[in-house]
Amino acid sequence: MITPHFKNPFQKSERGQAIILIAFAIVGLVAMVGLMTDTGLLLIEYGRLKRGIDAASISAALQFREGFSNADLENAAKEFLRLNQADVFDIQIDTCGTDPAMCTTPQRKLVRVTASRQVHFGFMQVLGIKTTNITAQSVGEAASIDLVLVMDTSASMAFETSGDPNQSDPGDDPSVCNASSTCEPLESIKTVALDFIDTIFFPYDRVAIVTMTSQVADGTRNPVVTLPLSDNETNVRNAITALRVFQPPVCDTAFGPCLNYPGGIYAGLECPIFRTTQNPSTCTSSNIGGALLLAGSEFARPPIREDSFWVVIMLAGGPSNATDAALLHADGYCPPNTWNDTGDRDGDTIVASPALPPDVDPPDRNPFCRDAYAATRHGNGDADYDADDYARDQADFLANPDTGQGVTIFTIGLGNLIQNSTKGDPDAGEQLLSYISGNAGGVNANHGEYFFAPDASGLSAIFQAIADNIFTRLTK
């Protein structure tokens, strides 16, 4: 029996629909693969852009200095991005000056960099999506500077007003030259310091001033903070301009520092040790250790900026010969074996330092409040612990990054007494200042540098070298 065969009238059309469905499925599959692939590409390109902008923001922030312009920051960012991201566009630079949202209290050196670049897709082009733009931003910061200027204002800062620069002269009376602003070398030092302030970027950087003596007439030789850390340029300049040479009372006191006015003519400082039973710790005025102690206290004054670059610049005209009044006692800081200032030491009761060979003759004149040998170092509590030891201990704490404050210290020795002291080791001042800047705080400290200037004429180049050194450290 023959079974009749009937054709399905919908069979051909179903076959056509399957082809269409398969085509759509393939397109969808390609789209999914393309989406996954191009999304990964997008993330990779965004990561590249973000890393480039991160580095560009730091490069721009390092241009943050006195006198900068927004164009300087933009050029620094663009130059970096051109080297690393060739197709970046719409670069925008923002600081506190262009966007109030970037302003902080206290102000920080912040720079925000925003940029875009175009990403070309591969698989997504099947869907007609060929490119897209991505944008990233980053905020870079340059370290701000907290700087303490430690200024020697002892009597030697008036010795060049007239006569021999190595000793006092009737024309060097601080009560006269302070009033007329003619004390030398102090006035020259002030001029150079004011020029140096031009390199400080207020209000992002801050400056404090510590003087080794009080700044009032009939004052004391104790160090004082003349100006706490300030971000106000006018206040800093006014404080420098107002610096005065130590002007102690006239010689009508029972003890303490005084001015010698024989016949009404100034002849320099006269120590009352020769007329009283007081020890010479009340006579001298180069308290380097006490000044460093006050400098360190400024970095601990709120608001504390632990992320800023902490710097001390100390200018001294001689070795340390005084300590803090509250620390003076017979067994240390100003040891009794330093009280004898006159006569030959050979054969007297003062014993030569064991650090010296037996055939080395000790100096003929003993310096006040420190032993005659700068190379010796005594521990606190030792009977021979003196002003030099105290200064080194304070410098160690100031500079040590692990057990102290991690401050970078630059020192400047000014004048003949730094290398040719008339008492004790001739170069005691230079040895101390070299130690403070180059060795204090141990090997892990961020050491500064020591400079010597025979007179004030060399200070301008020294302060410029210090400014360059500080900026170089900030850019690393």
Q: Express as a percent the part of the chain with pLDDT over 90.
A: 34
Structure-token pair, residue 324:
């803090």
Residue 42: which pLDDT band, with cuts at 50, 70 and 90?
confident
- When comparing pLDDT for 203 and 431, which is higher? 431
Around 354, how many Cα atoms within 13 Å sit in the side-chain half-sphere? Answer: 3
Query: Is residue 108 domain-resident?
Result: yes
Where a domain ends, among 101, 123, 142? 142
Angle at 225 between CA 173 and CA 170, to 5 degrees: 5
Clarify whether residues 114 and 224 are in a common domain.
no
pLDDT of residue 271: 63
Where a domain ends, among 125, 142, 159? 142
Query: Is residue 9 domain-resident?
Result: no
- The C-alpha atoms of residue 326 and residue 346 are separated, in whole angstroms, by 33
The end-to-end CA distance of the chain, in Å, is 101
Clarify whether residues 80 and 202 are in a common domain.
no
pLDDT of residue 358: 43
pLDDT of residue 472: 75
Clarify whether residues 137 and 105 are in a common domain.
yes
Residue 345: which pLDDT band, with cuts at 50, 70 and 90?
very low
Q: What is the CATH number of the domain that holds 448?
A: 3.40.50.410
Residue 257: which pLDDT band, with cuts at 50, 70 and 90?
low
Angle at 138 between CA 93 and CA 87, to 5 degrees: 70
Query: Is residue 359 domain-resident?
Result: yes
Clarify whether residues 257 and 329 are in a common domain.
yes
How many structural domains is the chain composed of?
2
pLDDT of residue 151: 96
pLDDT of residue 27: 67
Residue 348: which pLDDT band, with cuts at 50, 70 and 90?
very low
Q: What is the largest CA-CA distance in the chain?
A: 160
- The C-alpha atoms of residue 316 and residue 338 are separated, in whole angstroms, by 21
Using an 8 Å Cβ cutoff, are 134 and 49 in contact? yes
**pLDDT for 340 beyond 80:** no
Clarify whether residues 150 and 85 are in a common domain.
no
Where a domain ends, among 93, 116, 142? 142
Residue 399: which pLDDT band, with cuts at 50, 70 and 90?
very high
Query: Is residue 4 domain-resident?
Result: no
Clarify whether residues 298 and 434 are in a common domain.
yes
Clarify whether residues 280 and 410 are in a common domain.
yes
Query: Is residue 6 domain-resident?
Result: no
Residue 330: which pLDDT band, with cuts at 50, 70 and 90?
very low
pLDDT of residue 122: 75
Q: Give me the chain's average pLDDT, please.
A: 81
Burial profile 212-248: b = 16 or more Cβ within 10 angstroms, e = fewer = bbbbeeebbbbbbbbbbbbbebeebeebbeebbbbbb
Clarify whether residues 240 and 206 are in a common domain.
yes
Clarify whether residues 404 and 441 are in a common domain.
yes
**pLDDT for 61 beyond 70:** yes
Average the pLDDT over 344-363 and give the result. Answer: 42
Domain residues for the domain of 307 are: 145-474
- When comparing pLDDT for 25 and 433, which is higher? 433
Using an 8 Å Cβ cutoff, are 266 and 173 in contact? yes
pLDDT of residue 278: 55
- The C-alpha atoms of residue 56 and residue 68 are separated, in whole angstroms, by 17
Query: Is residue 446 domain-resident?
Result: yes
- When comparing pLDDT for 336 and 230, which is higher? 230
pLDDT of residue 4: 58
Clarify whether residues 118 and 217 are in a common domain.
no
- The C-alpha atoms of residue 220 and residue 225 are separated, in whole angstroms, by 13
pLDDT of residue 251: 67
- When comparing pLDDT for 402 and 329, which is higher? 402
- When comparing pLDDT for 114 and 380, which is higher? 114
Using an 8 Å Cβ cutoff, are 381 and 282 in contact? no
pLDDT of residue 337: 73
CB atoms within 10 A of CB 29: 10
Structure-token pair, residue 374:
């700068």
